[in-house]
Amino acid sequence: MSHSDLLDHPATAVRGGLRQVLNAGSGSRSARQLHPLFAPARWREVRVDIDAESEPDIVASIADMGGVLPDGSFDGVWCSHVLEHLFAHEVPLAVAEFRRVLADDGFALITSPDLETVAAMVLESGLDQVAYMSPSGPITAHDMLFGHSPSLAEGRWSMAHNTGFTCASLGDILIGAGFAEVVAKRQRFDLWALALMPGADREAIVAPLATAGLDMTG
């Protein structure tokens, strides 16, 4: 996919009537799959990542996509376990970019480790207690706070965590970026945030999201 393909097809005129979703910080195709909400029958995925080895559609930092993605060119943004890899000062830049590339009726769906839950686990069971099993192996509180230790031991420095969030802090950042409404919730060891643009139809987004397994009605 070339940059001109993206520039020629804004969110309101994507080929075949598909809506367009930005997978922000996509990693490899096996690393960060789209949420089930973004079914291929209805959504066209564009993968952006700073690491060329992950073979994204576009190589760019999610904190600075101005040279490669036009304003209002996406209906949705999906950002899964990426923001914590940025430094704290980069996070507002990234979410401002999410807002910039979204159409007026678009939305961003973001998930990240929930520091409140992780902190409670550390106090109760320590840093090395296994929280759950992932495709990469056991995940501990230490991994959720600082990044996946086995990956870091292999020299994959991009797996380090450089900041973190609570529902309140992430919500404040999103509102500060200019989103009209933000709904955030905690679920197990993750927090989720749904950030809506001014023209977004909340119910039309929340209903299929609930069908896909994520209740953001609160």
Domains defined for the chain, CATH in brackets? 3-114+165-211 (3.40.50.150), 115-163 (no CATH)
In this predicted model, what pLDDT tens digit does every residue of 9-56 receive, in sequence order?
444 445 458 999 999 999 888 666 899 999 999 999 999 999 998 899
Could you tell me the end-to-end alpha-carbon distance of the chain, in angstroms, rounded to an integer? 38
Beta bridge partners of 20: 44
In this predicted model, what pLDDT tens digit does every residue of 148-158 receive, in sequence order?
999 899 998 88
Tell whether pTM > 0.85: yes
Torsion of CA 64, 69, 74, 76, to 10 degrees: -30
In this predicted model, what pLDDT tens digit does every residue of 179-189 receive, in sequence order?
999 999 999 99
